[in-house]
Structure 1
Amino acid sequence: MSDQTRFRRFGAPAFVFVLAGAFVGVVAPASPASAAVPGLMRISATSTLTSNNYQTATAVCPVGKVLLSGGYEIVGASGEVTVDDFRPNGGPTTAPTAVTVGAYEIDEYPDVWMVQAFAVCANPVPGLVRISATNGGDSSDVHSTIATCPTGKQLTGAAFEMQEVVGKATVDDLRPNGTSTTAPTAVDVRAYEADPFSGPWSLTAYAICANPLPGLVQITTSSTSGSDDFRSATANCPASKVLVGGGYEVREGFGEVAVDDFTPNGGPATGPSSIITGAFEEDPYSNDWSIRAFAICATM
């Protein structure tokens, strides 16, 4: 991997939405931020910068807020690390409030690196739960599974967890359904072995689901296709919408590419509006490949 690509950081403009206030004697329109996702923000947490084989970080929403989705960034490893755990808490009857990201070195890597976890948080939204689906453990080279929201709910975020493969597999697809005019309701997760692994392993998909949010849609952006070591794509919500979650898909990578960045923009005082995806070849790979970014967006 090129030394020039190490420790790079993506930047994306943050948008601050200024709400109009109501004055005495003047009838003001309702604040658009109250329509769908009030209190939207992005929280981050970072592991220490070391050369350990495994690192983890957990981003926790502030008290009183819930988790709509998560994200991550691997800093410094440039394709030599795979995210093994991208796990929201919560359950089928409990709203999630935090997300844990854990990553392993695929092969021995002597340099320092770290994990950054991102939590997209908001004031409580009706019906928020976390659903999971697991592909049973076997030694197949590829595993896939789909987590589907309960009837009447829509997808705000997606995540995954691999069991027993300890750095020898990489998630290629974290793909929500939906379109630019229809709300997502499920996520399709697929993982490939990055190096030969003889033991059984399994894959869990997580869907974070809520009662319908106004204007919920899925926006897709693709990179160009080529054999470069690194490729990226950014999916932006329309001007009238904010980001609540996202996903990605590596096309034609087949385990030879590791998604290094899955990063919503925004911050503690700013709701996100876009999501950045970036991936490196894990070893030299001569085939053309590309990456797609998915943004799940709701009305402000």
Structure 2
Amino acid sequence: MKITTPRRLLATAVLALTAMAGGAVPGQAETAPAQRAAAALPAGYQVLRGGPATVDNFTRLTLACPAGKVIVGGGADIQSPGGGVLLGSFPSNVGGVYQWNVVARQEKQAQVTTYGYAVCVDSAALPGYQIVRVPAAEVANGASRQATCPAGKVVVGGGAEAQGASAALRFSTSPRPKGTDYLWTASGRSLAGTTVGLAVDAICANPIPGYEIVESAATETPNLTRRGQACPTGKTALSGGAGGYNTAILTSMLPELIDAASGYRWAAAVREPARAGAISSVTAICTNLT
């Protein structure tokens, strides 16, 4: 199906589940190895991966949490990196089913290939859970918008969607400036215009044991270099975010397993359309692992 109006999501596809590691049957998701020996993890902690899926540009791909679970994080890994553009990586609740959504496109081609990721936990593990959404609005290139958690709650995850025929996500991450642990902030840009549509989501909950936000230093690397931010010893990534500086745009942002003892880190890649290198940083929102 051809997407004729890229500002709207006219097509939706469900990502088939695959295992994060060997040993699981396709169509099922494997529990993170760390969970087997780590009772301190939020109950039902589970990382799902879907794909790869090759779809028309601007198609929304969805990955749903199992019944009784809520979404706390997620991401995407575009497999067409040279001209791959990440437009959206964000949570939603459709008919009581919590899911992660991915929207991407491939420059100069009609289709794009991507993986999708979702991090889920039992609903009872996050008292006060809610998704706060700031609906899409047109903003200037590079401008940021924020979704704010209610008083007494912290941000445990979040997402954003840039909208427009030439749109791209610039960053989608936990708080800036530091110390504002109740915000999710995002920015987008149009690669061929001066404004971009931008919606932002914050996933909020009451404070949880071991809650901590860590961020890598802003560093310049060759385009599409995968960077990761691990949590401190004894903690694992519940969710995370990333961003490009100047005119850099996101091409991937996802949970990445370190090993069974260390749990997950958050990883991302960016590219600068007019340069060979780009400046980026990665953020991980952490919870107790052991």
TM above 0.5, yes or no, is yes
The amino acid across from 1:173 in the alignment is F
Counterpart check, 1:297 vs 2:286: yes
Give the drift of 1:183. 7.7
Corresponding residue to 1:45 among 34, 46, 50: 50
Counterpart check, 1:88 vs 2:91: yes
Give the drift of 1:278. 0.9
Give the drift of 1:43. 0.8
Corresponding residue to 2:186 among 183, 186, 189: 189
Aligned to 1:273: 264
Corresponding residue to 2:207 among 205, 212, 236: 212
Aligned to 2:34: 16
Aligned to 1:142: 142
1:43–1:114 CA distance, 2 compared to 1 (3 A): same
Q: Where in structure 2 are the equivalents of 1:135-284 lying within 5 Å?
A: 136-137=137-138, 140-163=140-163, 165-166=164-165, 168-177=166-175, 184-196=181-193, 201-222=196-217, 224-226=219-221, 228-252=222-246, 254=247, 257-266=248-257, 272-282=263-273, 284=274
Q: Considering fraction of residues, name the structure with more strand.
A: 2
Where does structure 2 lack aligned partners over 5 or more consecutive residues? 1-19, 22-31
Taking the aligned partners of 2:46 and 2:177, their CA distance within structure 1 comes to: 24
Q: Bigger radius of gyration, 1 or 2?
A: 1
Taking the aligned partners of 1:265 and 1:40, their CA distance within structure 2 comes to: 14
When normalised by structure 2's length, the TM-score is 0.77
Taking the aligned partners of 1:47 and 1:56, their CA distance within structure 2 comes to: 14
When normalised by structure 1's length, the TM-score is 0.74
Q: Secondary structure at the match of 1:16?
A: helix
Computed over aligned residues only, the root mean square deviation of the Cα atoms, in angstroms, reads 3.2
Q: Secondary structure at the match of 1:62?
A: coil
Count of matched residue pairs? 257
Taking the aligned partners of 1:281 and 1:178, their CA distance within structure 2 comes to: 22
Q: Percent identity?
A: 21
Taking the aligned partners of 1:63 and 1:246, their CA distance within structure 2 comes to: 23
CA deviations 1:199-220 (Å, max 9, x no partner) are x642111000111111211111
Taking the aligned partners of 1:54 and 1:171, their CA distance within structure 2 comes to: 13
Give the drift of 1:141. 3.0
